[in-house]
Amino acid sequence: MFSALPDLPEDAILRLMALYRDDPRPAKLDLGVGVYRDADGRTPVMGAIKAAEQRLCDTQDTKSYVGLLGAPDFAAAITSLVLGDDMAARTACAATPGGTGALHLAAELVAMAAPGAAVWLPDPTWPNHAGILAHCGRSVRHYRHAAPDGRFDAKGMAEDLRAAAPGDVVLLHGCCHNPTGIDPDADEWAALAAGLAERGLLPLVDLAYLGFGAGLAADAAPLRVLAAHCPEMLIAVSCSKTFGVYRDRVGALLAVAPQPATRERTAAALAHLNRLNFSFPPDHGARAVTLVLEDDGLRVQWHDELEAMRRRIAGLRAALAAGLRQAAQTDQFDGIAAQRGMFSRLGLKPEHIRELRDRHAVYLVGDGRINIAGLTDDVIPTLCRQVADVLHR
Ligand code: PLP
Ligand code: TYF
């Protein structure tokens, strides 16, 4: 039977991880997979999470099942983090295995509620978006996200969404767009929210980098703007980066539905889908996150650690943009300083990307995306020379 299995496409980002691991050159540089790294190249467990896990270990007296939607206090803590306290009463929430689990659940919920609705994705976007939606049988369309000048393409997006039908779903990156680092500004968010509401389009926000853009409050602001305009919306929250709990698989799908009867119906559908997919969602990481959010001291500690990560990335962005301008004698990289979050695209041609890997052991994704957190102040001058070298050969 198994020999009949089809050839399946590999994930380019995960393939790059393996190529990097197998490269014997000592001076190799991994700018591929989107995992935060500190100045020593490590992805440490956050101190606040370690403390919460310790407390959990000391006090947890059962590992019996929780509930199909996960622990209610996790739902309350995440909803209030993302949308504010006042929205908790208007939102159904299901804990999921990571943000990917939340996206998968969203796709299934849409399939159940509106099987004919198309899901519109930004072009470009995280490759798994199209993969998960197609896997769940959704019809996928695309809208322009980034203009050639490296700014958010509000006009192109609005033009493309003219072809959307009422009830269609529009996927948005809540902050720190992956792979471009290009986000709408506050005015653009307000116009976008009003436009979606007017057209009867449902926002599905992928929130995987909360706190990595302009700070926790600023990064969450667009969600509140959307919630103020749109009667219903979905938010796929990933705690992987924001709490550094990647492998513990912590996430949640929030469904804003102000009508109590609709909200209860939605919560029942989410519980049903979780049950048929994997039954109870993982609890350990979610509980550690809840402890951090509920304890004043741990919350301050976590926020400080998150801010340190955000500031490190912002500093690397400024240094890289300045270094590339000087080394390559061009302003084509200036946008990197203003872009947000873990990623930017260098706008290099495929042959440049291949040369960087073959000649200099520098690993970036095939679309030219780099993980800024993979840099250190020490490697930036060398990288800038190497980029200039492949550009000018
Ligand atoms: N969405 C985006 C844009 C991402 O980059 C990621 C990255 O890992 C995810 C969702 C899902 O994260 P996870 O499933 O690891 O929580
Ligand atoms: O974009 C990234 O690098 C992260 C990590 O299949 C990731 O989102 C990449 C690919 C993948 C799962 C996670």
Asked if 354 and 189 count as a contact pair (C-beta separation under 8 A), the reply is no
- Residue 238 CA to residue 244 CA, distance in Å, equals 10
Q: Which ligand is nearest to the CA of 34?
A: 2
Omega of the bond leading into 97 within 30 degrees of 0 (cis): no
Q: Please determine, for residue 364, whether its predicted confidence score (pLDDT) is greater than 90.
A: yes
**pLDDT tens, 58-110?**
999 999 999 999 999 999 999 999 999 988 889 999 999 999 999 999 999 99
Which ligand 1 atom is at minimum distance from the Cα of 239? 16
Tell how far the Cα of 34 is from the centroid of ligand 2, in angstroms.
6
Nearest CA to ligand 1 atom 4: 208
Residue 146, φ and ψ in degrees, nearest 5: -115, 130
The arrangement of strands across the sheet holding 251-256 comes to 91-96, 251-256, 233-238, 202-207, 169-173, 118-123, 139-144
Nearest CA to ligand 1 atom 12: 99
Which ligand 1 atom is at minimum distance from the Cα of 249? 16
| pLDDT at 298 (0 to 100) | 98
Lowest mean pLDDT among 8-12, 100-104, 245-249, 282-286: 8-12
Sort strands 139-144 and 169-173 into parallel, antiparallel or unpaired.
Answer: unpaired
| pLDDT at 160 (0 to 100) | 98
- Complex-level ipTM: 0.98
Asked if 223 and 205 count as a contact pair (C-beta separation under 8 A), the reply is yes
| pLDDT at 366 (0 to 100) | 87
The mean of the pLDDT values for the chain is 96
| Residue 51: Cβ within 10 Å count | 18
DSSP, residue by residue, 159-192:
HHHTTPPTT-EEEEESSS-TTT-----HHHHHHH
For the chain, domains (ranges, CATH) are 11-44+312-392 (3.90.1150.10), 65-294 (3.40.640.10)
| pLDDT at 244 (0 to 100) | 98
**pLDDT tens, 131-169?**
999 999 999 999 999 988 889 999 999 999 999 999 999
Residue 101 is encoded by which pair of tokens? Answer: 């689990």
Strand partners, 204: 171, 234
In the chain, the percentage of residues whose pLDDT exceeds 70 is 100
- Residue 243 CA to residue 212 CA, distance in Å, equals 11
Ligand 1 touching residue 251 (CB < 6 A): yes
Asked if 71 and 95 count as a contact pair (C-beta separation under 8 A), the reply is yes
Q: Maximum CA pair distance of the chain?
A: 65
Tell how far the Cα of 207 is from the centroid of ligand 1, in angstroms.
8
| pLDDT at 88 (0 to 100) | 86
| pLDDT at 393 (0 to 100) | 78
- Residue 72 CA to residue 90 CA, distance in Å, equals 14
| pLDDT at 262 (0 to 100) | 96
**pLDDT tens, 306-362?**
999 999 999 999 999 999 999 999 999 999 999 999 999 998 999 999 999 999 999
Ligand 1 touching residue 207 (CB < 6 A): no
Tell how far the Cα of 13 is from the centroid of ligand 2, in angstroms.
6
Place of tokens 């998150």: 306
Which ligand 2 atom is at minimum distance from the Cα of 365? 3
Q: Which ligand is nearest to the CA of 238?
A: 1
Average the pLDDT over 113-125 and give the result.
97
Ligand 1 touching residue 206 (CB < 6 A): yes
Tell how far the Cα of 132 is from the centroid of ligand 2, in angstroms.
13
Place of tokens 């995992």: 35
pLDDT band at 35 (very low <50, low <70, confident <90, very high): very high
Q: Please determine, for residue 392, whether its predicted confidence score (pLDDT) is greater than 90.
A: no
- Residue 255 CA to residue 112 CA, distance in Å, equals 14
Instruction: Please compute, for residue 52, the number of CA atoms within 13 A of its CA located in the half-sphere on the CB side.
Output: 27
Model-wide pTM > 0.95: yes
Nearest to 237 by CA among 184, 187, 298, 281: 281
**pLDDT tens, 259-273?**
999 999 999 999 999
Asked if 169 and 206 count as a contact pair (C-beta separation under 8 A), the reply is no
Ligand 1 touching residue 178 (CB < 6 A): yes
Tell how far the Cα of 100 is from the centroid of ligand 2, in angstroms.
10
Place of tokens 């919306």: 233
Annotated catalytic residues are: 126, 206, 208, 241
| pLDDT at 280 (0 to 100) | 98
Asked if 250 and 239 count as a contact pair (C-beta separation under 8 A), the reply is yes
Q: Is 131 exposed, middle or buried (0-12, 13-18, 19+ CB in 10 A)?
A: middle
Place of tokens 């996960």: 70
* Triad 96, 100, 102: Cα angle to 5°: 40
Instruction: Please compute, for residue 360, the number of CA atoms within 13 A of its CA located in the half-sphere on the CB side.
Output: 21
- Residue 161 CA to residue 155 CA, distance in Å, equals 10
- Residue 109 CA to residue 31 CA, distance in Å, equals 35
Tell how far the Cα of 6 is from the centroid of ligand 2, in angstroms.
23
Which ligand 2 atom is at minimum distance from the Cα of 128? 6
**pLDDT tens, 182-211?**
999 999 999 999 999 999 999 999 999 999
**Which protein residues are within 6 Å of ligand 2, measured from CB?**
11, 13-14, 33-34, 126, 128, 178
| pLDDT at 258 (0 to 100) | 86
- Residue 268 CA to residue 280 CA, distance in Å, equals 14
